[in-house]
A and B are shown apart, each in its own frame.
Chain A
């Protein structure tokens, strides 16, 4: 680094950082990220996709940038993919922190927009009802049989693909006869040629999505620069599709080296072939015996609800369930309680949200593959098996996010069937009868080892 302006930029950041004051300087990854930001915002592009690996101190960098822009009289806001990240920015009182939906709704144009966990934009926008219309058809519906025969390939129990327009119109005709579905799809029915249709389906449940044909939304651009921070940065093509920004306006930074550290998380995999009731019984046993902050990740909301019902009523004070309403409040209550147990099927918790002091992660079933709309639209031959593995690794990654964290992760299925090998992680395969004892031992040991 020979440019005096770059040096001055870093000096300002070091001088204004609490962390730098406490530890003497910013982390090398943070300095590298700040330099990248400096170079990016001084090129001609207006949108910048920046790589920032996990545990590289990205949140601190974003806060520092906010301070810098604010002190130079620029308007700035932080955009987060969901409300669960809001707590991390609670010490920025005079900077607007908006969820992606709030940002889409705001009419204000900021000088700088900083988007945290930008890879979550994809799922966040795909799940925004005003942008992507989604209808669920389960096996109790009278149109389910038609969907299964028409859309589910013979011999397969899962399907994810874009539908031809002819098929999507056939479905729309079908949905038109159902009042609730007709209401959801009002815009689509009115002007169907501007929408494209996708299906995620499995035996028992079909999710039909209608997304705008050209791009998901046209996001409000920043006056000076929009910075998208992510461990897996979005490509120009993805930003173009999801945010409606032309690719030639998007700058892309090089990937940074992943910081090396090893967490103290032990991994267990149950090798019994448990049926759903057996899994619920095992879950109930674990939640009853182990008192620590716990996250239970389900692969769908129906199973999550069923598991919740199967738990004894005496657990209710410790159990939190992220449902469709009051999500942020429930999450805040959960964080307020040291030994809370959170049950959810929300995709935000599968990838994205970092729960502080999480000690135990339970995954009863492997996740379903979930290729993005863009992947389906481009007809990429998505490997569903690899997609399951990717999501599973993401889910497992919710625990042990820092070098100081410790805990245990347990899957109620044989993990090696989905993920061939997990580098840096030793997985203990065991019977369900021994699980609770082993978990207790592991958590106690971790407690002793933890700094």
Chain B
């Protein structure tokens, strides 16, 4: 009935001849007051030259690089006006000619092609712009999908941005173009804060003075904004991480060196008419000497990135569906928009960069079909205590619903579990159902006592398990930090709104994991290798913490480490080595890009581990689409009903498909389009798996299938997870450590106490 083909958002380079790159230095008179002016001046010259010479002229690291032709004599001298700072004379001095080909210099070639794409959209078209030349993102101008009334209410607007880069697919360089939706402050952060104040006033029923707001509003703002990344909209700059929004000091206050205010500082650069009384953003960065420094920034010059969760707190339930459509567009919408942009790039380059495009460089405007590079989805088998379950793709959601009443967990909890539940009498039915579910799935007796006491009165020796049903963060914090971390009393909190029948299977699974059991295992994993996972958590200031975990091939966690800060990396790696050498065959999964660590790990294991493969699992911007062939209208006399698809697209993300991009790069699509209410929406991206190093021969197909099946190994909810189980667990572990600290009790490290 339908014959799927797979294609991706990559566009093959039909022509990729070597590019002749003429490089020019610049002599600028008078001397520029700050180095940043060099980039502004050269950027302007590059844009002028691009238009005048119909070729790509790029400002790159203090030089002008020009493709294909030399700059004629009459264009070597330029006079550039920088508002408020006068005119600068620039003389371009030729430094040399270099031929850059993809085969010999793939990184340089990629950079040039990327800049050509940037030129086509950000400089030769009015519809796009970039915050910074080095950023891989091109932002689409114009109205988003949120209407004005909505923006004014939530203070957030939606933007579309496009990622561009080169990727190799089947040995051929291809342009990857991805579309993403970003949520950001409406106009600027100050405007967003004002909208937030208006919304706050409306919800609370009394107006507030934005410039002198009550403490609970300040608290709410910092709860919403702190830790987020902000881009500077007024000039090209790297993004910052917000620590706090403070009303203690204002934009007019003399906070900077020499007694300048942030307003005065920016006026020197021609940025005027800013609100003097606006609060300030405090941000931190790590200096080259390792010191953490605090700085102030002006909200009116910043836009903050947001998530759907931030937004959903500010919108009506009836709007969630529409907003979800924007934030997670379906595959059809994504694809259509990407095609529109690739066609635009193609037409702009044909019209404006005729000397380069299409004579030297040309890419297809038809997405590359990758069917021949894919491994089709296979079934994943899980084993429980008394039966096996085979899941066919799409692996679906909530497969625990197939359990049946008699199913037992693979590694059940045995004996007696003394359980204290802190809740009121309205939760009695929920607790009874939970107890019943837990006992049915495990081989234990759960002795439950429902209490209405202050958790401070609980003695850890009283119970093996503490369940709280509360929204009070202080109670949760006490239970985690004191009772669980210090005294080893396993704690599970259930939000009151989730204390219902629907949540019971998931909570029973989590309790089982926390108490040392496992709901299910993978059955006969294809590779049969143990899994060593090294996870790096990077906090908002850029500091890193490292964790590792050892897992059996079928998904049972054997060991998990404590957190190691980056200054103890050697000690961490020694621990990794000590554990790794106990096993002969290992798959090493990492989530970070650090060649030094890779080499250290590989060198250590080279002698002690017979066979190992180091993989880096990361997110990427490639999208895979499965295209349906809609069935033509059936003959009238046949009793066949034409297919009706739930969305207007004919594409979906093909869960379970593995694509081989190159010899050492693969894509694994572990997740299904998100299901909201009854229709599928969203267009998930696959995981990128890069082979870093290997010792011994490997059947890479079985390794990749093992990685894929690990997305169903996390027994936390009965759903698949985007990341393979060990990475997923370590992410949760890191988040727990950041929020509640590490457990002192060694026994806890053998359990998944944080799920």
Chain A interface residues (CB < 8 Å from chain B): 150-151, 153-157, 160-167, 169, 189-196, 212-214, 378-386, 417, 420
Contacts and interface: CB of A to CB of B under 8 A. Distances in A.
Contact of A154 (B149, B150, B317, B630): B630
Interface stretch (B33-41, B473-481, B631-639, B707-715): B631-639
Nearest to A161: B648
Contacts of B642: 156, 384-385
Contacts of A166: 145, 325-326, 329-330, 333
Contacts of B313: none
Contacts of A196: 321-322
Contacts, number: 101
B735 to A, nearest CB: 31
B171 interface: no
A380 B644 CA distance: 9
Contacts of A160: 644
Contacts of B641: 383-386
Nearest to B323: A193
A212 B146 CA distance: 16
Contacts of A383: 641, 644
11 contacts: A155-B631, A155-B632, A163-B648, A164-B649, A166-B330, A169-B145, A189-B147, A214-B317, A383-B644, A384-B642, A417-B636
Contact of B146 (A164, A193, A384): A193
B147 A190 contact: yes
A166 B630 CA distance: 22
Given A164-B681, A169-B145, A381 B644 contact: yes
Contacts of A381: 644, 646
A213 B677 CA distance: 13
B1 to A, nearest CB: 13
Interface in B654-678: 677-678
Interface in B293-320: 315-319
B679 A379 contact: yes
- What 3 A-B pairs come out closest when comparing CB atoms? A165-B325, A379-B679, A214-B318
Given A191-B147, A384-B641, 20 more contacts: A151-B648, A153-B645, A154-B630, A161-B646, A163-B648, A164-B647, A164-B648, A164-B649, A165-B321, A166-B333, A193-B147, A193-B150, A194-B322, A213-B321, A214-B316, A214-B318, A379-B679, A383-B641, A386-B641, A417-B637
Contacts of A384: 641-642, 644
A153 B636 CA distance: 18
B650 interface: yes
A164 B330 contact: yes
Contact of B319 (A151, A213, A378): A213
A165 B646 contact: no
A378 B321 contact: no
Overall SS of chain B's interface? loop
B316 A194 contact: yes
Contacts of B323: 165, 193
A161 B333 contact: no
A163 B677 CA distance: 15
Given A154-B630, A213-B318, A379 B646 contact: yes
A192 B681 CA distance: 19
A155 B630 contact: yes
A164 B317 contact: no
Contacts of B649: 164
Contacts of A154: 630
A162 B645 CA distance: 10
A431 to B, nearest CB: 19
Contacts of A150: 648
Contacts of B645: 153, 161
A132 to B, nearest CB: 15
B109 to A, nearest CB: 35
B322 A193 contact: yes
Given A166-B333, A192-B147, A194-B316, A161 B644 contact: yes
A382 B677 contact: no
Contacts of A195: 322
Interface in B122-176: 145-150
Given A191-B150, A193-B146, A379-B678, A165 B630 contact: no
Contacts of B149: 190-191
Interface in B667-702: 677-679, 681
Contact of B648 (A167, A169, A193, A417): A167
Contacts of B648: 150-151, 161, 163-164, 167
B567 to A, nearest CB: 47
B147 A153 contact: no
B650 A164 contact: no
B647 to A, nearest CB: 6
A419 B700 CA distance: 55
A167 B646 CA distance: 14
Interface string B329-350: 1101100000000000000000
A154 B645 CA distance: 12
Contacts of B647: 161, 164
Nearest to B649: A164
A378 B677 contact: yes
A156 B322 contact: no
A163 B326 CA distance: 12
A165 B650 contact: no
Nearest to B678: A379
Contacts of A169: 145, 326
B321 A153 contact: no
B147 A213 contact: no
B300 to A, nearest CB: 26
Nearest to B149: A191
A6 to B, nearest CB: 35
A13 to B, nearest CB: 43
B319 A382 contact: no
Contacts of B317: 214
B390 to A, nearest CB: 25
Nearest to B646: A379
Nearest to B143: A173
Contacts of A151: 648
B322 A382 contact: no
Which of B316, B325, B636, B678 has most chain A Cβ within 10 Å? B325
B678 A378 contact: yes
Nearest to B145: A169
Contacts of A213: 318-319, 321-322
Contacts of B650: 153
Nearest to A385: B641
A164 B325 contact: yes
A155 B633 contact: yes
Given A379-B677, A382-B644, A384-B642, A164 B632 contact: no
A193 B319 contact: yes
A194 B315 CA distance: 10
A366 to B, nearest CB: 10
A357 to B, nearest CB: 35
A102 to B, nearest CB: 27
